[in-house]
Amino acid sequence: MVNSILFAAGVLMALGILLALIRFIKGPDVTDRTIAFDVMTVASISVIALIAHFAGRIIYMDVALVYGLLSFLSVVVIGRYIERGL
Amino acid sequence: MEIRELIGALVTLMGSIFIFLGGLGIVRMPDLFNRIQAGTKASTLGTILSLIGLSIINPAWIWKLLVIVFFVLITNPVSSNVISRAAHFRGTKMTDKTVTDLLGESQNKTKEE
């Protein structure tokens, strides 16, 4: 019961990542692509947390934390670069 | 025991619904700024809800999950703010239904002075 509900949650998260990927491919501007990238990484943090629950290993949470940190850093760097150049 | 795991799974399902709606909003919204507002806000709430649900299921993991929740809660508004400022500076077109543009008005006022 619990595991099937969590599996449905994982399928919904994957659908959300897929929709953001459509915008990432189609987006007319670089800022659209950056926002789609941001949504994709934030959604994959929770997908990694679900995988950690299914595998039963807490060490995957560190992977999620570092992934979010790198995505935040890359989005901020891209924003600064668009605004006034490095 | 069983009830607690069921509540955690339902909270996680609610968070995944919010993540799905964020992805839907980022495809269907007409404008860059609407896309930022829909995508970032919904995905932040969805991630926080799903991590809290997982910490209800596994109470031993609560500290590490709370660290990630705190981190997402701080960094996600900052990154969306940086991107929207950069897009406004770049001159991205707004949709026709836009009512007000306070940042552009304040920049025009500083230029006139």
Residue with tokens 């990484």: A41
pLDDT score for A8 = 92
Distance CA A74, CA A38 (A): 9
Per-residue pLDDT, B50 = 92
Judged by a CB distance cut-off of 8 A, whether residue B95 touches chain A is: no
- Indicate if the pLDDT at residue B95 is higher than 80: no
- Across the interface, of B9, B76, B78, the residue whose CB is closest to A42 is B76
Q: How many angstroms separate the CA of residue A37 from the nearest CA in chain B?
A: 10
**Residue A7 backbone phi and psi in degrees, to 5:** -65, -40
Q: How far apart are CA A29 and CA B80, in angstroms?
A: 16
Residue with tokens 């701080």: B74
pLDDT tens digits for range B24-72: 999 998 888 888 988 899 999 999 999 999 999 988 888 988 999 999 9
pLDDT for the residue numbered B90? 82
Tell me if chain A has a CB within 8 Å of the CB of B35.
Answer: yes
Q: Give A24-67 pLDDT, tens digit per residue.
A: 998 788 889 999 999 999 999 999 999 999 998 889 989 999 99
Contact B83, A81 (CB under 8 A): no
pLDDT of B111 above 90: no
Q: Is residue B113 scored above 90 in pLDDT? A: no
Instruction: Kindly state whether B66 is in contact with chain A, defined as any CB-CB distance less than 8 angstroms.
Output: no
User: Within the 44-83 window of chain A, which residues sit less than 8 Å (CB to CB) from chain B?
Assistant: 45-46, 49-50, 52-53, 58, 61-62, 64-65, 68-69, 72, 75-76, 78-80, 82-83
Burial class (CB in 10 A: 0-12, 13-18, 19+), B9: buried
Is 80 exceeded by the pLDDT of residue A23?
Answer: yes
Kindly determine whether residue B24 and residue A79, on different chains, have CB atoms separated by under 8 Å: no
* Contact call for B19 and A10, based on CB within 8 A: no
- Residue A86: which H helix or E strand, with range? none
Query: Whole-angstrom Cα distance, residue B19 to residue B16?
Result: 5
CB-nearest to B36 from A9, A18, A35 is A35
Q: Which helix (H) or strand (E) holds A29?
A: none
> What is the reported pLDDT for B106?
80
pLDDT at B102: 79
At residue B52, the pLDDT reads: 93
- Report the interhelical angle of A60-84 vs A30-55 (nearest 10°): 170
CA distance A21 to B16: 17
Q: How far apart are CA B92 and CA B64, in angstroms?
A: 39
**Per-domain boundaries in chain A:** 28-86
Q: Is B40 in contact with A38 (Cβ distance < 8 A)?
A: yes
pTM listed for this prediction? 0.88
Is A17 in contact with B23 (CB distance < 8 Å)? Answer: yes
- Mean pLDDT check: name the lowest of A26-30, A78-82, B2-6: A26-30
CB pair distance less than 8 Å for B72 and A42: yes
A2 has a chain B CB within 8 A of its CB = yes
Band (pLDDT 50/70/90 cuts) for residue B96 is confident
